[in-house]
Amino acid sequence: MPERIIFNAFEMNCLAHMAHGLWAHPADNRRRYTELSYWTDLAELLERGRFDALFLADVLGVYDTYGGSRDPAVAGGVQVPANDPLLTVPAMAARTEHLGFAVSVSTSYEPPFGHARRLSTLDHLTRGRVGWNVVTSYLPGAARNFGHSRMTPHDERYDRADEYLEVCYRLWEESWEDGAVLADRERQRYADPAKVHAVDHAGTWFDVAGPHLCEPSPQRTPVLYQAGNSPRGREFAARHAECVFLSGVTPEGLRRDAEDIRARAAAQGRDPRGIRLLTSLAVVVAGTGAEARHRYAELQGWVDREGMLAQFCGTSGFDLHGRDRAAPLVPHRTDHGQGAAALFAEGRPDGPTVGETADNAAALGRTTLLAVGSPGEVADRIEGWVEETGLDGFNLVPFLAPGSFTDFVDLVVPELQRRGRYRTEYEPGTFREQLFGPGAALLPADHPGGRIRAGGASARTAGAAPG
């Protein structure tokens, strides 16, 4: 029996997320991103299509690396304006029963206590359908927005994120013991004070007393996603992530990174099969392959090249503006996203030229896997990539919203279902159980958060826990 393939929809609470310029296409609906009904309609569509989750990206600053100016990003609506992603979730949850919500929140600017509380609240309100994409943020402007004179260096951002997560685990997993909530009407006792603990964390970056303000939610810790591709990012992912979002444009590169993450996870004492690995995929599908290729060419004609470059330069830290197209772009480390910087250097030790990089960055679907064809052709590509890369699934990047998702649901999902690669019904349970099976509502014991839960319990059994 072939494994089912995981599918998320990749979105952002903004006008233009990845396919810049396409918001102006007559068939595009993104202009409605400020309306609640845009999000509730999308959630209903995705649940009809039996998606695992809606994955929401987020940034906290404006893309201003390209030519040292924010104008191309602002003019093209390139992830600016951008509204808060978390606030859309309760409304979508009210209109769905099973769809998960994986939301990007940065560890670099807002301290962990309030964040842990917000995610516990969402996990309650969604009955356990929340995930957190842990990001460290790569835009220098974001640092300035939160009172920092400069962005924290790349690897140090991950060190800080490690401590951030430790604080969250202690709040989510340790602070309220199982059985702390009594809800005893007769004795008028809601909770047992002996089972609610301070965390008293005093660390390098954070001091948090606790206890957590929320009672345990269905998953305690939300499903943890991570999307860093640098060596330090992969080490972080191997320690914390349950789902890793790899960026790559070749099956060989994706397989290599997937194997690296699984090996790093095993070295940290985790079961490598307990991690789901995904990458981004764009699909243009139509009744026939010729029709789909025609549609892709038509969509490409709507691309805002300056907008695409604004995003690539901000993500990678390479400013391509005004540079000689024939010059080589030698890969080098920046404090932005190192995964993005390496994307087009795959198999090119001397690096591609500036011109090749700019053309790739500005083409629809070149920073992701891309399948253009009939439903059968698209399903063949998807199955082939799963085989070649060892990945578990995909984040679907729309060119038209919600048209790309509608086409996928109506044309590709039935084909994958026929092949036994796509669920036909949801199983009951939390987001984590959808991904890892019935009974897996909480972090497993081999995860650092699961170990904190178990450690808290064993310390208490030994009578050593602070009250």
Binding site for ligand FMN (CB under 6 A): 57-59, 104, 106, 135-138, 227-230, 233, 245, 247, 280, 337-339
Q: For residue 346, give the DSSP letter.
A: T
Q: How far is the CB of 183 from ligand FMN (least distance, A)?
A: 38
Nearer to ligand FMN, 73 or 411 (CB): 73
Q: How far is the CB of 237 from ligand FMN (least distance, A)?
A: 8
Q: How far is the CB of 143 from ligand FMN (least distance, A)?
A: 12
Nearest to 342 by CA among 230, 190, 426: 230
Concatenated DSSP letters for 382-450?
Answer: HHHHHHHH---EEEEPPSSTTHHHHHIIIIIHHHHHHTT-S-SSPPSS-HHHHHH-TT--S--TTSHHH
Please, are residues 447 and 436 in contact by the beta-carbon 8 Å criterion?
no
Q: How far is the CB of 339 from ligand FMN (least distance, A)?
A: 3
Q: How far is the CB of 154 from ligand FMN (least distance, A)?
A: 6
Nearer to ligand FMN, 10 or 172 (CB): 10
Backbone phi, then psi, for 201, in 5-degree steps? Answer: -85, 125
Nearer to ligand FMN, 79 or 374 (CB): 79
Nearest to 378 by CA among 388, 369, 367, 368: 369
Q: How far is the CB of 57 from ligand FMN (least distance, A)?
A: 3
Nearer to ligand FMN, 14 or 46 (CB): 14
Strand 276-285, strand 53-57: pairing: unpaired
Nearer to ligand FMN, 219 or 368 (CB): 368
Backbone phi, then psi, for 184, in 5-degree steps? Answer: -95, 100
- Which residue, judged by CB position, is nearest to ligand FMN in the bound state? 233
Please, are residues 277 and 244 in contact by the beta-carbon 8 Å criterion?
yes
Nearer to ligand FMN, 246 or 284 (CB): 246
Helix (H) or strand (E) holding 244: strand 243-246
The CA-atom distances, in angstroms, between 445 and each of 94, 170, 442 are 31, 14, 9
Q: How far is the CB of 112 from ligand FMN (least distance, A)?
A: 17
Q: How far is the CB of 420 from ligand FMN (least distance, A)?
A: 28
Q: How far apart are CA 94 and CA 11, in angstroms?
A: 19
Nearer to ligand FMN, 175 or 316 (CB): 316
Token pair for 161: 């994120």
Nearer to ligand FMN, 141 or 339 (CB): 339
